[in-house]
Amino acid sequence: MGFLNLFSKTGAAVQRLPSGSMTVDRDGNVVATTVSSAYPPELLHEIAVEVLRLFREARTAQIPLAEFNLHFASLRITAREMRGGAIVFLSPKTESTTSSPN
Amino acid sequence: MESHHKILLLDDDPDVLELYKDILAQLPSHPEVHTATTGARALALLDAEPFRLLICDLKMPRMDGLQVLSIVRRRVPEVRTVVLTGVPDEEFRSRAYALGVDLFWLKPETQQNMQMFLECLESLLGRDATAGFRGVQSKSLMDIIQMECLSQSSTVLRITRGALVGKIWMVEGELIHAETEGAVGEAAFQRILEWRSGTFENLPPEPDHERTINKPAHVLLLEMAQAMDETANPGAAGAGEELDHRKTVWKLSALTREGAEWIVSVPEKGVPEGWGTQAAEESAKWMRQAGELCKRLSERLEAGPLSHIEGCCLERRLILLPWEKKTFLLSWPPNWEAHRMVEQSKQIVASWDS
């Protein structure tokens, strides 16, 4: 039966965009999340770290932010600063969700 | 030898002329006062020698004051004109101002009124007569149009220079049409702006007039300023400064008009610039950091290029917008609607370097 493996595809892995929310602590650790467990946790952690860095660098530049939205072509990242961390919303963009909810 | 300004007094009553001649001779600038009892004589004097000021009665036989003034406006547009009349008629007043007179004054009946009249005359005598448009002291036509644009006026500007007449249509601060000497649109606008002096008046707006000018007003004005500076002072250092000044005024006015508080622009390489903020350097540093951070996130998450960043705090809302080879950061009031803010930011940025 091994010859059937000749026809099986190894499959080019298309990375899915994260969808859901997560609460992160001051060190970027994900405390709670609704993002699918299939999504790589290390990527979620990277997002958390970058989000906290953006808040911190803005504060240093005398532009303290309470909230921001990063609008990428296919993903919106909304982050609200919370005491000791942040809550982050990850929303893949579809044709019907191109505008900000604010 | 010290030269004195010349004033021409026109009135059909010789007694009035004598009286005012004595009074005007006491002005601090000690003007040379000439008199005429008819419009024809006044026009002949104005043709023969330069006068700074014409003071004209309205009711006169054969040629009335308004007729004289309309001829004077065409033949000697540089002379200042004052109507001095005993007729308190609002129609005459508006007709006189429509002809471009500098001052309409009822013959003074009190000492206080006479004193105010003399002060006005002294002020008119003191103005520079070499250039500028009547009605706004020492301002070029470009300045006048710029002011109309900044105040988002809707009007028709009728500009007269001797026998030349031009009209510029404006709707809510935007130039939509111009006409002069058979030219229309941008060509007409450029011809009118080349006039160095004259008179102008504001006519009622015509918002439904056909639009022949589609370029933004500030772009046209900057192009004209540049062309005129280069023609007048080829290679002069002042020309560039004047252009820079106009650009700065336009950029700040664009911000104000849209309601934004300040803007910082950061080129890929080079020095950041800020308008309306003293903290351009700090903001630019964060903008670069944010740009790098978003680039990393975009690559890691395969989320596509960054469109923009919206940020908010209690004091303001911010938009970071990459645009061509620059990144812009705009500050908006905290209650500004997010969607509107993004669209307005894009509009400002799109015309920023034009």
* pLDDT value, residue B134: 52
Q: How many other CB atoms sit within 10 Å of the CB of residue A81?
A: 20
Q: How far apart are CA B222 and CA A89, in angstroms?
A: 45
Candidates B305, B311, B304; CA nearest to B287 is B311
Contact A71 B338 (CB under 8 A): no
CATH number for the domain harbouring residue A66: 3.30.450.30
Number of structural domains found in chain A = 1
The verdict on residue A67 lying in a domain is yes
Q: How far apart are CA B46 and CA B53, in angstroms?
A: 10
Candidates B249, B254, B261; CA nearest to B319 is B261
Q: How far apart are CA B287 and CA B309, in angstroms?
A: 10
What residues form DSSP beta bridges with B85? B106
Candidates B222, B224, B153, B219; CA nearest to B188 is B224
Amino acid at B250: W
Model confidence at B202: pLDDT above 50: yes
* pLDDT value, residue B238: 56
What residues form DSSP beta bridges with B160? B165, B199
Q: How far apart are CA B5 and CA B35, in angstroms?
A: 14
Structural domain that includes position A58: 18-92
Tokens standing for residue B63: 């040629």
Model confidence at A25: pLDDT above 70: yes
The verdict on residue A8 lying in a domain is no
Model confidence at B310: pLDDT above 60: yes
Cβ proximity of B257 and B152 under 8 Å: yes
* pLDDT value, residue B129: 46
CA distance B244 to chain A (A): 29
Confidence category of residue B88, pLDDT binned at 50, 70, 90: confident
Cβ proximity of B331 and B273 under 8 Å: no
Q: Does B292 touch chain A (CB under 8 A)?
A: no
The verdict on residue A13 lying in a domain is no
Mean residue pLDDT of chain B comes to 82
Considering only A37-46, A74-83, B52-61, B252-261, which range has the smallest mean pLDDT? B252-261
* pLDDT value, residue B267: 92
What residues form DSSP beta bridges with A91? A76
The verdict on residue A1 lying in a domain is no
Contact B293 A50 (CB under 8 A): yes
Model confidence at B3: pLDDT above 70: no
- Tens digit of pLDDT for each residue in B232-286? 665 555 556 666 666 777 777 777 777 888 999 999 888 998 888 888 899 999 9
Which H/E stretch holds residue B102?
none
* pLDDT value, residue A2: 56
Between residues B287 and B163, the one the model is more confident about: B287
Q: How far apart are CA B16 and CA B58, in angstroms?
A: 13
Contact B312 A67 (CB under 8 A): yes
Nearest chain A residue (CA) to B297:
A47
Q: Does B340 touch chain A (CB under 8 A)?
A: no
* pLDDT value, residue A102: 41
Between residues A90 and B75, the one the model is more confident about: A90
Q: Does A39 touch chain B (CB under 8 A)?
A: no
Between residues B88 and B296, the one the model is more confident about: B296
The verdict on residue A97 lying in a domain is no
- Using CA atoms, how far residue B39 sits from B69, B84, B104, B125, B167, in Å, is 9, 14, 18, 22, 29
Contact B339 A69 (CB under 8 A): no
Considering only B110-114, B165-169, B268-272, B280-284, which range has the smallest mean pLDDT? B110-114
Q: How far apart are CA B215 and CA B186, in angstroms?
A: 9
The verdict on residue A6 lying in a domain is no
Nearest chain B residue (CA) to A52:
B293
Q: Taking the model in full, what pTM does it have?
A: 0.51
- The mean per-residue pLDDT over the stretch B326-345 comes to 89
- Of B31-40, B251-260, B288-297, B336-345, give the range with the top mean pLDDT: B288-297
* Nearest-CB residue to B309 (from A60, A66, A70): A70
The percent of residues in chain B predicted with pLDDT above 90, rounded, is 18
Chosen for mutation from A59, A63, A76 (greatest number of chain B CBs closer than 10 Å) is: A63
Nearest chain B residue (CA) to A40:
B301
Nearest chain B residue (CA) to A69:
B310
The verdict on residue A70 lying in a domain is yes
- Using CA atoms, how far residue B245 sits from A72, B238, B252, B298, in Å, is 37, 10, 11, 39
Model confidence at B2: pLDDT above 60: no
The percent of residues in chain A predicted with pLDDT above 90, rounded, is 65
The verdict on residue A9 lying in a domain is no
Sheet containing B164-171, strands listed edge to edge, beginning at the edge strand earlier in sequence: B132-134, B197-203, B155-161, B164-171, B174-180, B183-184
Confidence category of residue A5, pLDDT binned at 50, 70, 90: low
- The mean per-residue pLDDT over the stretch A55-63 comes to 92
**CB-facing half-sphere around the CA of A61: CA atoms within 13 A:** 22
Q: Does A27 touch chain B (CB under 8 A)?
A: no
Q: How far apart are CA B103 and CA B125, in angstroms?
A: 12
Q: How far apart are CA B354 and CA B352, in angstroms?
A: 6
Q: Does A57 touch chain B (CB under 8 A)?
A: yes
* pLDDT value, residue A96: 54
Domains, chain B, with CATH or none: 6-126 (3.40.50.2300), 141-220 (no CATH), 259-351 (3.30.450.30)
* pLDDT value, residue B16: 87
Candidates A41, A42, A43, A49; CA nearest to A25 is A49
* Nearest-CB residue to A100 (from B297, B304, B339): B339
Pairing, β B326-332 against β B262-267: antiparallel
Q: Does A74 touch chain B (CB under 8 A)?
A: yes
Between residues B250 and A51, the one the model is more confident about: A51
DSSP letter (8 states) at residue B210: P
- The mean per-residue pLDDT over the stretch A63-89 comes to 93
Confidence category of residue B161, pLDDT binned at 50, 70, 90: confident
Contact B297 A70 (CB under 8 A): yes
* pLDDT value, residue B111: 78
Confidence category of residue B1, pLDDT binned at 50, 70, 90: very low
Considering only A84-88, B110-114, B172-176, which range has the smallest mean pLDDT? B110-114
H runs (alpha helix) in chain A = 41-60
